[in-house]
């Protein structure tokens, strides 16, 4: 009864924390989207005033900011839906789709920017009112920096891939704004129009690399690529709490679904233990792993009975069923706990 009450209490607590974090993410992403739309209007107005291709490239990227921000908002809303019969693991994977969508749009924008930059070398544009353009670009860059830092802060706090990706994108936009201001300043003081095209070319290349990185991150999440950072964190906790009765841990897998995690593992325990005792040990291990994550974590830990070959790596003293002397303790590292094989020397 006490165990049931503890589980119910923690379950309710995690639910309310999750709902609070989800609403916070939606609120922050909504404001970022609105401000991003206003910045897009300002940037296109700046291009019309100056005729600068470099500013046009910045304005085109702002379209990506708005489109990606809208998709990120949708993905955060969808990821917050509860599990159902058709989605037993929830809807969190949509955040990786959002990241890939944003990366794809950035790549398309970069290709167009590069094309316009090359064209400008052949047919130079007439540039005017650069002083106004520089000040408007500076203001836009400062706002983008603030939005990027806000998104990355709340994205990491609430474990939202979509918000972190959007924040990184806006941070990249800030870097390009800095380069843009330097380039426009050079054009303003030297009168060399080709510098504008050169800056647009550099910005296009930089934006292209950013988009490809986002696509790579999206694919790694959708394909459930092993996140060694998370596994290392779990390893630290398990090694600190390691008990002689936990003969080994193997086949550990971590899958990310939006802000939540699904974790599988096999634990080898003494074969002669009762089901009740084995369950209690697994519950302790679940509590240790669950404490690593601020958001909802789904844990499936499977108990394996030890076998005779396990005796050589088992440090349990006074075991009544020992078949061989202890020889060597297996170190729990990424290679050993992710391998789908019980620990043994041979």
pLDDT band at 294 (very low <50, low <70, confident <90, very high): low
d(CA 216, CA 214): 5
Among the ranges 91-95, 106-110, 320-324, which has the highest mean pLDDT value? 320-324
Q: Which domains does the chain have, with CATH numbers?
A: 2-222 (1.20.1510.10), 228-338 (3.30.70.1350)
| Residue pair 72/163 in contact by the 8 Å Cβ criterion | yes
Task: Provide the whole-model pTM.
Answer: 0.64
The candidate with the shortest Cα–Cα distance to 215, out of 108, 61, 57, is 108
The answer to whether residues 9 and 142 touch, using CB atoms and an 8 Å cutoff, is no
Question: With 80 as the cut, is the pLDDT of residue 68 above it?
Answer: no
142-146, 160-164, 284-288: segment of lowest average pLDDT: 160-164
What percentage of residues in the chain have a pLDDT greater than 90? 4
**Residue range 50-55: average pLDDT?**
78
State the pLDDT at residue 270. Answer: 93
What is the band of 66 on the pLDDT scale with cuts at 50, 70, 90?
A: confident
Contact status, residue 212 vs residue 107, Cβ threshold 8 Å: yes
pLDDT digits (tens, 9 = 90+) for 227-257: 788 888 888 888 888 898 999 889 988 887 7
At 274 the pLDDT is 92
Residue 65 has pLDDT above 80, yes or no: no
Beta-strand pair 260-269/297-305: parallel
Tell me the per-residue pLDDT of 315-343, one tens digit each, with 9 for 90 and over: 888 888 898 888 888 888 888 888 887 77
Rg from Cα positions in the chain? 27
User: Would you list the DSSP string of 194-248?
Assistant: HHHHHHHHHHHHHHHHHHHHHHHHHHHHHTT---HHHHHHHHHHHHHH--TT--E
Average predicted confidence (pLDDT) for the chain = 79
User: Rounded to whole angstroms, how far apart are CA atoms 200 and 197?
Assistant: 5
**Which pLDDT value is given to residue 295?**
61
Looking at the predicted structure, is the pLDDT value of residue 273 above 50?
Answer: yes
Q: Are 167 and 155 in contact (CB under 8 A)?
A: yes
Check: CB of residue 328 under 8 Å from CB of residue 221. no
> Among residues of the chain, what percentage have pLDDT more than 70?
89
Asked whether the beta carbons of 177 and 58 are under 8 A apart, the reply is yes
Distance CA 297, CA 300 (A): 10
Residues 6+ away with beta carbon under 8 Å from 45:
136
Contact assessment for residue 286 and residue 249, using Cβ atoms and an 8 Å cutoff: no
Counting beta carbons within 10 angstroms of the beta carbon of residue 232, is it exposed (0 to 12), middle (13 to 18) or buried (19 or more)?
A: exposed
pLDDT at 345: 66
Cβ contact 334:232 at 8 Å: yes
Spatial contact of 132 and 52, defined as CB atoms under 8 Å apart: no
Tell me if 58 sits within 8 A of 88, measured CB to CB: no
pLDDT of residue 296: 65
Question: pLDDT tens digits for 169-226?
Answer: 778 778 777 877 888 888 888 878 788 778 878 878 888 888 888 888 888 888 777 7
């Amino acid at each position: 009864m006490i165990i049931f009450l503890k589980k119910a209490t923690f379950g309710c607590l995690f639910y309310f924390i999750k709902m609070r974090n989800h609403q916070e993410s939606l609120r922050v992403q909504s404001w970022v989207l609105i401000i991003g739309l206003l910045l897009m209007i300002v940037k296109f107005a700046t291009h019309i005033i100056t005729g600068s291709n470099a500013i046009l490239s910045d304005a085109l990227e702002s379209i990506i900011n708005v489109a990606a921000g809208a998709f990120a908002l949708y993905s955060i809303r969808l990821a917050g839906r509860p599990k159902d019969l058709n989605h037993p693991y929830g809807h969190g994977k949509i955040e990786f789709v959002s990241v890939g969508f944003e990366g794809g749009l950035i790549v398309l924008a970069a290709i167009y920017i590069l094309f316009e930059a090359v064209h400008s070398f052949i047919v130079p544009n007439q540039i005017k009112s650069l002083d106004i353009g520089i000040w408007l670009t500076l203001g836009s860059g400062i706002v983008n920096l603030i939005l990027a830092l806000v998104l990355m802060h709340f994205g990491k706090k609430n474990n939202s891939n979509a918000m972190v990706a959007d924040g990184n994108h806006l941070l990249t936009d800030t870097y390009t704004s800095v380069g843009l201001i330097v380039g426009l300043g050079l054009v303003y003081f030297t009168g060399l129009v080709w510098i504008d095209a050169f800056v647009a070319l550099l910005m296009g290349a930089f934006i292209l690399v950013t988009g490809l990185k986002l696509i790579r991150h999206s694919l790694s999440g959708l394909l459930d690529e092993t996140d060694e950072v998370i596994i290392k964190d779990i390893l630290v906790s398990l090694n600190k709490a390691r008990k002689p009765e936990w003969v080994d841990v193997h086949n550990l897998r971590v899958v990310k679904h939006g802000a939540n995690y699904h974790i599988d593992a096999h634990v080898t325990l003494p074969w002669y233990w009762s089901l009740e005792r084995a369950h209690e040990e697994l519950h302790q291990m679940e509590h240790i792993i669950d404490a690593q994550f601020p958001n909802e974590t789904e844990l499936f830990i499977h108990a394996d009975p030890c076998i005779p070959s396990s005796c050589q790596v088992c440090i349990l003293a006074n075991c009544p069923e020992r078949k061989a002397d202890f020889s060597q303790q297996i170190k729990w590292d990424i290679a050993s706990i992710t391998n789908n094989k019980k620990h043994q020397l041979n």
